[in-house]
Structure formats: structure tokens, C-alpha cells
Amino acid sequence: MSKKFYIKTFGCQMNFNDSERLRGLLRSIGYEPANTWEEADLIILNTCTVREKPDQKVLSHLGEYKKIKEKNPNALIAVAGCLAQRAGWELVQKAPVIDIMFSSFNMHQLPELINQAQAGYKAIAILDEPPPDEDKIWEFPTERDNPYCAYVTVMKGCDKRCTYCVVPATRGRERSRSLESILEEVKRLTDEGVREIHLLGQNVTAWGRDLPEPVPFSELLYRVSQIPGVERIRFTTGHPKDLTDDVIEAMAEIPQVCNALHLPFQAGSDRILALMDRGYTKEEYLEKIRKLKEKVKGIALSTDVIVGFPTETEEDFEETLDVLKKVRFEQVFSFKFSPRPGTPAANMEGQLPDEVKTERMRRLLELQKSILSEIAKSYEGTVQEVLVEEEKDGKLIGRTSTNKWATLSGSPELLGKIVRIKVTKASPFNLEGEILEVVK
Ligand code: SF4
């Protein structure tokens, strides 16, 4: 009887893609997915530590999952991802039920760690830096839920040093995956029927700089677009400083590159941006946006914002609201500043009281809500292309090139197809429309 695994994933798209890779790896060593954690012989928590809340969630899940050992004493509990890398043994002391620990550095070592744990050892493998054979992980297929859209991790880590961010500590320095390995995976995915490729990296636009023979990220976009079957290309997350003109040019030229970009600005005040060590000013960020809107017609922009960074004044915060008014983002991921252990910002003077952060967050969401309803109205009556990704409750669901979800009526035969629709009704997070024709 094959053993069963259950993976609980927290955090960003890269963590979800890592979990898809772990599923492929576990299948390749004879494990089957369990429907619920209660049925599993191996539970993996793939963790995030970008804010306080995810840390708490992990501990409460571990409190729940430990019950499995009452019913199945041979069951194993593993913790992976960024909290594992940041906390290591400190977390094992808090939760001694943990049998296995690894991070994004050494996912490929999981089979070995399972053997050690089954032999009764605590298999805690948190490394200071990625091992030389880290790229072995790409040999394992990903196992995805969506048959038409696939994440492809193209680089790991980040060389930036934003003062509030744990990523450089938990994911290491920038390591680009080889062009050949990426193109091979994209070919494999399109052979399986995938039509949309979503390139991932903590700072994806920095891809290629650290390769033995450096390659610009724009070149990767062109090469991926030349693979037969690639109908759409998305990429996340870019850093404004690395969004170079050649990347903007490629976005404008390559028909498959979707009309949407996630470009975090984090704060509007130059003083706060300097304290964050973001490496650009408000004007430089807005200049990038101007170039994007000029070159890539109708581009939909999304962003990340931190509210309540240490010493943030009312005037500083007004600068943040001003960027929202000027850019008019179609999606804003906004967070209250959360001091992270080991980051410079955690020890900065001038930490703000939570009620001030909460009040500013309320005003930011209010402003963004009004911008979103105006943007939604602008979609009504327009013609959009939608890749039909799934059928739910008798309706077809998919996303426009601008990354807006659309709900349509039509036959399931349209799954995986790109259809042209006329938008009949629009709300901030969903469009309704009638299908005009099948594009491809
Ligand atoms: S660029 Fe992003 S991932 Fe890198 S340190 Fe800054 S916030 Fe963190």
C-alpha cells in the first residue's frame, strides 16, 4: 500500500510552485496524495515568515497535526520553506513533534531526510547556504492543479537588502536557473497542454545576471515566446530598479506577454523609501510607470504597499496615497509594517502604534476601493481575450490578459481555449461577459 502525503502551503507563488515540485518529487518515490491530513503518512508544512501572522499560523497547524501520531505513530511531520530557514532548531524546540526540516535550499534532499526520520532520527537539515547540487530539484516534475497555466521558477533568492525583508536571509543570494533548464521545462509543460507560463522569482527581472555568461531577462521572454504552444507569458515579481527599458520593449513587442505587471513600490515618501533601502525615489518609480503605460497600451498594474513603516509621518503617508491616485493600480496588496526578526527595520527607532497603522490602512483601502470601482466601470462594453481555465458550478472561469477574472457561460469544450468576450458587467474583482468567438 503506497504511503500518502499531505502538503499545506503558506505564502507566495514561489512557495506554491515549490510545493508543486515537492508533489512531483514525492510521486516519483512512490507516495500518493492524501485528501486530508488525517489520512497522511507524511505531512509537510511549506511555510512563510514574511510577517508575524504566518509564523503564528504554522504553530497552530502543528498543534493540530500532531494528533495524527495518536492514530498513526509512524506518521512524519515536516516543516519546509522560509520559517524553517529562519527559525530552524528554535522552531523544533517550540514544536518537538517536528521530524523533518528543510528549506528551499535543499528540497531535493527530502527522500534522504524521510529515510533518516523513518530510522528514528530528527532529520533537521537547515543549511547556511544552498548546496552545490541545489539544481537537482529541477529534475523533478511539478504536479499542478491547473492544466492550462503553470508557474515556472526561474531564479531563487535576492541580492537586494530592503531593510524590512527576510527574503535574502531565508532564500539566499540571487541564483538564476540555466536558460536550457527553463526552456526544457516550458517545452515539457506545453507538450502537456499548458498554454500560459508564469515565470517566478523573488526579483525575477534580475534573472540571468549571475549566469556564467550573463543573459538579459528580456532575452528569456523572447526565448520562451518562441516555444510552440506558449500563448501567454506572465512574470512576478519585478523590482522597479531592474525593470529596464529592454524589458519594457520586450513586453510591448512580444504578443504573448500579458498586459499586466506586478511592480511593488512599497511607499511614496522618498525619506521612507531611503529608510527601506529600496533604491529608487517616488519620481523614478512614476517615470517607470509612465514608460510602461506609453509602451504597453492598456497595461494593468498591481503593487505591494507597506503602511506604517517606522517614523512614517502623516505627510509621508499622503505621498503613498498620491502614488495610488496617480498610477491607479488594478490590484494593491497592502500590509501593516510587521517588524521581522533579524531585519534592520525591526530595530529602527520610531516604531508606530498599531492603531495608527490600522487607521492609515483603513484610509488606503477606502481610496483604493473607489479607484477599483471606477476601473471596473471602464471594462464594461470592452472586448477582452480570456483563457478559460476551469468550470465551476456550470460556469466557465478564466482570466483576461490584464489578469482580471471573468465568469462566462459556455460549453466545457472551451476549457483551455482563448476566447474573445464582450464585457456585459464588471465588479472590482470579476467580469461577466458573452463569448463572441474562439480565438485559439
Ligand atoms: S527586492 Fe523584494 S525580496 Fe528582495 S529584499 Fe527587497 S522586498 Fe525582499
Residue-wise pLDDT tens digits, 131-165: 999 999 998 888 998 999 999 999 999 999 999 99
| Ligand 1 contacts CB of residue 44 (under 6 A) | no
- Residue 424 carries which side chain, given as an amino acid letter? T
Instruction: Give the residue-averaged pLDDT of 65-73.
Output: 92
Instruction: Render pLDDT for 290-343 as a digit per residue (tens, 0 to 9).
Output: 999 999 999 999 999 999 999 999 999 999 999 999 999 999 999 999 999 899
Q: With 80 as the cut, is the pLDDT of residue 269 above it? A: yes
Domain 383-438: homologous superfamily in CATH: Nucleic acid-binding proteins (2.40.50.140)
- Confidence grade of residue 1 (pLDDT, cut at 50, 70, 90): confident
Q: With 90 as the cut, is the pLDDT of residue 196 above it? A: yes
pLDDT value at position 228?
98
- Tell how far the Cα of 160 is from the centroid of ligand 1, in angstroms: 6
* Grid cell at residue 20: 508543486
pLDDT value at position 141?
86
CATH of 4-125, one of 3.40.50.620, 3.40.50.12160, 3.40.50.1820, 3.40.50.880: 3.40.50.12160
> What is the residue extent of each domain of the chain?
4-125, 134-379, 383-438
- Confidence grade of residue 52 (pLDDT, cut at 50, 70, 90): confident
- Confidence grade of residue 55 (pLDDT, cut at 50, 70, 90): confident
Instruction: Give the residue-averaged pLDDT of 78-103.
Output: 96
- Cβ atoms within 10 Å of 381's Cβ, excluding its own: 11
Could you tell me the pTM of the whole model? 0.95
- Tell how far the Cα of 167 is from the centroid of ligand 1, in angstroms: 6
Residues 348 and 296: beta-carbon distance below 8 Å: no
pLDDT value at position 53?
79
pLDDT value at position 173?
96
Q: Whose CA is nearest to atom 1 of ligand 1?
A: 160
Q: What is the mean pLDDT of the chain?
A: 96
Q: Distance between CA 64 and CA 72 in Å, rounded? A: 14
pLDDT value at position 50?
83
- Residue 266 carries which side chain, given as an amino acid letter? Q
Q: What is the CA radius of gyration of the chain?
A: 22
**Residue in the structure block whose three cell numbers are 516555444:** 227
- Confidence grade of residue 414 (pLDDT, cut at 50, 70, 90): very high
- Cβ atoms within 10 Å of 314's Cβ, excluding its own: 8
CA 45 to mean position of chain CA atoms: 17
What is the number of alpha carbons within 13 Å of residue 435 lying toward its C-beta? 21
Backbone angles phi, psi at 149, to 5 degrees: -125, 135
Q: Distance between CA 260 and CA 297 in Å, rounded? A: 10
CATH of 134-379, one of 3.80.30.20, 1.25.10.10, 3.40.470.10, 3.40.50.720: 3.80.30.20
| Ligand 1 contacts CB of residue 343 (under 6 A) | no
- Tell how far the Cα of 37 is from the centroid of ligand 1, in angstroms: 33
Q: Distance between CA 376 and CA 400 in Å, rounded? A: 13
- Tell how far the Cα of 338 is from the centroid of ligand 1, in angstroms: 15
Q: With 90 as the cut, is the pLDDT of residue 54 above it? A: no
Q: With 90 as the cut, is the pLDDT of residue 121 above it? A: yes
Please report how the helices 314-327 and 282-295 are oriented relative to each other, as an axis angle in degrees rounded to 10.
10
